[in-house]
Amino acid sequence: MFMILMGTVVIAGIVGYLSEKTGFTRNGYVPSIIICIGGAFLFYFIRIMFGISFGAPGLNAVISSIGALIIVPTHWRK
């Protein structure tokens, strides 16, 4: 279970970096990575508590990271 958590953090960090690199978001590298890791942590714990899942843990990490980037639009803030 600990390795799944570490893999989730790594995948979320990669998704955050790639979202900035490709221009999907304009938050900055560090904020995007933090948002992705936070979303992935949240969904990881929801999966543990309630058993809600999209399938493989890696797929859960990618979908939750992208969802967090869509929900938290920090580039519109002043």
Does the pTM surpass 0.75? The reply is yes
Q: What Rg, from alpha-carbon coordinates, does the chain have?
A: 12
pLDDT at position 38 over 80: yes
* pLDDT tens readout for residues 41-54: 999 999 999 999 88
Q: Does the structure show a pLDDT above 90 at 10?
A: yes
User: What sign for the dihedral angle of Cα 12, 14, 20, 24?
Assistant: negative
Q: Looking at residues 65-76, what average pLDDT do you find?
A: 83
